[in-house]
Homo-oligomer: A and B are copies of this chain.
Amino acid sequence: MKTIRDIETLRVVIESYKKERQIIGFVPTMGYLHEGHMALVNVANEENDIVVMSIFVNPTQFGPNEDFESYPRDEARDTALAEQNGVDILFLPSVETMYPENLTATIHAQKRVSVLDGATREGHFDGVLIVLAKLFHLVQPDSAYFGQKDAQQVAVVQGFVADYFLPLTIRVIPTVREQDGLAKSSRNVYLTEQEREEAPVIHAALRKAREEVKERDTARVLANIRVAMDQKKTHEKIVYLDMYQYPSFEPVEDWEKPIIIAICVQYSKARLIDNEIIGGA
């Protein structure tokens, strides 16, 4: 595995792969790698000649009161994990490398962002698109790999890629979970012991809701999830819990088409998200 920190070296390496007509798979991450990331790397390895992973905690997608500074980082461990799992190129840029000066132009997410993380994390998806536009242009992947846990992010990125005709495929990989159902997340390390014990209720409540959706009663589905969540005591609050068509994030009108139930739960330090997508391919 080759570790690269600067733009020029990355460009040269990518250019040489392109000349050799190697197929490039790209896994953009914020590091603190877990099995969810490794699932992306595994699929990328199956589908491509070369796997590029980026680790970059992107400041523009964090709000002023969010956890940019305290976001967990462990470069040595991440590097070892990436190498063990067959990453070919690990791109580890600094903030100064990715943002050498103020942007001449900014990107603003307009659709699919009026709800959930788009509503509660102002500017979050703008920052996601800005950094991904940069990374996609640098890495020039044939495919880029995202986890379904970040379903709204996936929808926004897919819309951006389609709108701007980016020559790459977005591949969405199912959420990887702990044995008790808790979605793998870098932020799980923020959980206290008791919170960790109770957090699997999130997935359990959403799974149960899958069945109830058949009755086509949005209010009841959501109310039952809240009842299930309320039986646990450790979380501070449900930041959001809602159902939409997927991937439009418009209100549910057609029960035959894909529907997402998405939740965000605030614990003492951890803000966790999860979702279930019902129907569709």
A interface with B by C-beta (< 8 Å): 7, 11, 19, 21, 102-112, 126, 129, 133-134, 137-138, 140, 156, 159-160, 162-167
Q: Are A165 and B7 in contact (CB under 8 A)?
A: yes
Q: Shortest CB–CB separation between residue A100 and chain B, in angstroms?
A: 9
The winner among A7, A104, A112, A167 for most chain B CB atoms within 10 A is A104
Docked Cα-Cα span, A166 to B103, in Å, equals 14
Say whether chain A's binding surface is mostly helix, strand, loop, or mixed.
mixed
A203 to chain B, nearest CB (A): 29
Instruction: Give the distance to chain B from A49, nearest Cβ to Cβ, in Å.
Output: 15
* Contact B133–A164 (Cβ < 8 Å): yes
A167 to B13, CA, bound (A): 13
Cα A156 to Cα B11 with chains together (Å):
23
CB distance from A267 to the nearest CB of B (A): 31
Number of copies: 2
Q: Are A129 and B105 in contact, with the CB atoms below 8 A?
A: yes
Q: A104 to chain B: which residues have CB within 8 Å? A: 109-112, 156, 159-160, 162-163
Q: Of B19, B21, B107, B140, which one neighbours A105 at CB under 8 angstroms?
A: B107
Q: How far is the CA of A102 from the CA of B156 in the complex (A)?
A: 13
Is the pair A134, B102 in contact by a Cβ cutoff of 8 Å? no
Which B residues touch A11, using CB under 8 A? 167
Which of chain B's residues have a CB closer than 8 A to the CB of A106? 107-108, 110
> Can you show 21 pairs from A to B with CB atoms below 8 A apart?
A7-B165, A11-B167, A102-B110, A102-B111, A103-B163, A104-B110, A104-B111, A104-B156, A104-B160, A104-B163, A105-B108, A105-B111, A105-B159, A105-B160, A105-B164, A106-B107, A106-B110, A107-B107, A137-B164, A137-B167, A140-B167
Q: Which residues of B contact A129 (CB under 8 A)?
A: 105
Q: A11-B167, A105-B129, A106-B108 are in contact. List 9 more A-B contacts (CB 8 A).
A: A7-B165, A103-B110, A103-B111, A103-B163, A105-B159, A108-B108, A134-B163, A137-B164, A138-B165
CB distance from A84 to the nearest CB of B (A): 29
User: Which residues of chain B have C-beta atoms less than 8 A from A111's C-beta?
Assistant: 102-105
Choice from B110, B112, B164 contacting A134 with Cβ under 8 Å:
B164
**Interchain nearest-CB distance for A3 vs B (Å):** 19
Most buried by B among A138, A162, A165: A165
Chain B residues closer than 8 Å to A166, beta-carbon distance: 137
